[in-house]
Amino acid sequence: VPSAAVDSETSERPLTTNAGPPDLEGELDGLVVDKIKFKKPGGETAFSIKLKDGGLKLVDPNEKELARVTVTEGGKFKLKDSRDEVLGYVTGEFPRFKIKDAAQKETLFEFRRQNDGDWELRRAEDVEICRIGKRDYGWNIEDGSKNDLAQVKVDGERTSIRDSGGQVRYYTNDFVPSLSVVPFGMPELTRGQAAALLAALMKARR
């Protein structure tokens, strides 16, 4: 697999995916996939995640790069657009991650695990905007008022992102840890931010 472009500001290191915390253990063992293709109902490709040495790329159905995530020497996940401009960072480690702006001066969101095993997405003002509850089928995503927003369902080898009514938005038949798909079901995040958080969750260590 060819390496991602070398970052001119920091040295990069591989996105390793052979172990992880409790939510990910077992799912990551033996992971060899280098591309996660998300499709729309009917089979048309919506977007893909291409795992690369040092990070990943988010590409459209025609393989055009939309965003790139690289892992810096300090373990931060740097998000860039297709023009190589920095859009933001994901910092932290399991079970608490922060999504920051391009200057790393402002924390936009915080994604963290609760004592009961659920997760939540909060704004910098400590306002809960999403609660992610573990379910037998995967994860249920609610807003701060406990209204259903989306679901991540695992059915055999298929993982799907569904709307509040249970209708499939996207699905993939490629192996991917279910928790790492959750960011794509949170409407507050851009697709690039979701990809960066996915990278952080896939690499998570205790």
Q: What pLDDT score does 52 carry?
A: 86
Alpha-carbon torsion (104, 106, 109, 115), positive or negative: positive
**The total number of residues written for the chain in this structure:** 206
- State pLDDT tens for residues 176-186: 999 999 999 99
Q: For residues 185 and 138, what is the distance between their CA atoms, to the nearest angstrom?
A: 12
pTM of the full predicted structure?
0.84
- State pLDDT tens for residues 53-76: 889 999 999 999 999 999 999 999
Q: What pLDDT score does 205 carry?
A: 56
- State pLDDT tens for residues 74-90: 999 999 999 999 999 99
Q: What pLDDT score does 124 carry?
A: 77
Q: For residues 163 and 167, what is the distance between their CA atoms, to the nearest angstrom?
A: 5
Q: What pLDDT score does 125 carry?
A: 78
Q: What pLDDT score does 24 carry?
A: 47
Q: What pLDDT score does 36 carry?
A: 97
Task: List 139's β-bridge partners, or say none.
Answer: 134, 152
- The pLDDT mean for the chain works out to 86
Which of the two residues, 180 and 5, has the higher pLDDT score? 180
Q: For residues 4 and 17, what is the distance between their CA atoms, to the nearest angstrom?
A: 16
Q: What pLDDT score does 33 carry?
A: 67
